[in-house]
Amino acid sequence: MSHQVVVSDFHMIRPDSIREHLGPSAEATFAELGSVDALVAACESVGADAVITDVGTPVTAEAFERLDLSVVARAAVGFDNIDVAAAADAGVTVTNVPGYCTDEVATHALALLLACVRAIPEYDESVKRGEWPSFPSRNLRRLRGRTLGFVSFGAIARRLAELTSGFDVDVVAYDPYLDESGLEAFDADVTLVDFEGLLDRSDYVSVNAPATPETRGMFDAEAFSRMRDGAILVNTGRGAVVDEDALVSALDSGDVAAAGLDVFEEEPLPAESPLTDREDVVLSPHAGWYSEEAVEELNRRVASDVRRVLDGEEPESAVDPEWG
């Protein structure tokens, strides 16, 4: 008898790849769900042993109470939509796919940074309007010799630091979970600082932090007021880390010169957001993760871990219940 796997949310799912990597002992049912009741109904209809989900479907304590699952796999790095503690109480393994898009997000952050440093969107729009301006609406500064600060210094931040090493910038990082010994294997000159020190020293700030009780809203009016004149903010971490109203005020006052944002407090970003009508802001739709190679790796790894659990093996990327 084959195992039954319900696959919810098609944002990054490739059905053929999922089927291939689940193997012959599992059968996949694909459905756009979006609610606990819809998830439970879909699972009960096939007697599901496993769920693969993206952000669109919540997997709550109620779902774990009503279903008899072995594994819930999140097709992403984050797992905000899964009640990890409830899963642990129910004896359900939770997996995710860390690192599948490290190169993509780091490259995207660099692209946002350079677009802000050189005012590329503003120049682009001007030329398309038939204009030929040498000077944009704000003063531009040379990149070389500046200081790039990282909020959280995990794999993506380290990759971005590697990518920027040829620009002759100084690198500082704030990461309360990291000490100097954690940098020994990293082949670059990085100075660890506290958060206030990062704000005081950085010309460019790259936010790579997840959304936690400690990081939510950490970039508020006070933080922006401490940043260096002409500072640029790039956020490819989580939107909740940045207070967008405070950011708009900081842009208006000049405390922040420009911002490149791939993540937002509310997604999709509302059309009426004041961020959408500014020449000093570069926006993208939480797409830093995307490349075809990343999508293939994501599908392969998420399905392979489900197969491992269903076959009685240890998954490669189990989520620690303490993280929930």
Catalytic sites, residue numbers: 238, 267, 286
CA distances (Å), origin 303, targets 6, 74, 93, 209, 292: 11, 10, 14, 27, 17
Coil, helix or strand for 125? helix
- CB distance 77 to 103 below 8 Å: no
Residue partners of 322: CB distance under 8 A and separation at least 6: none
Q: How many residues does the chain have?
A: 324
Q: Which of 175, 240, 233, 183 is nearest to 207 (CA)?
A: 233
Q: How far is CA 300 from the centre of its chain?
A: 19
How far is 234 from 202, CA to CA, in rounded Å? 12
Q: Which helix (H) or strand (E) holds 256?
A: strand 256-261
Q: Which of 123, 120, 101, 102 is nearest to 112 (CA)?
A: 120
How far is 3 from 91, CA to CA, in rounded Å? 18
| Longest CA pairwise span in the chain (Å) | 69
* Strand 190-192, strand 93-95: pairing: unpaired
CA distances (Å), origin 57, targets 36, 49, 91, 324: 7, 17, 20, 17
Tokens of 311: 């076959």
- CB distance 121 to 99 below 8 Å: no
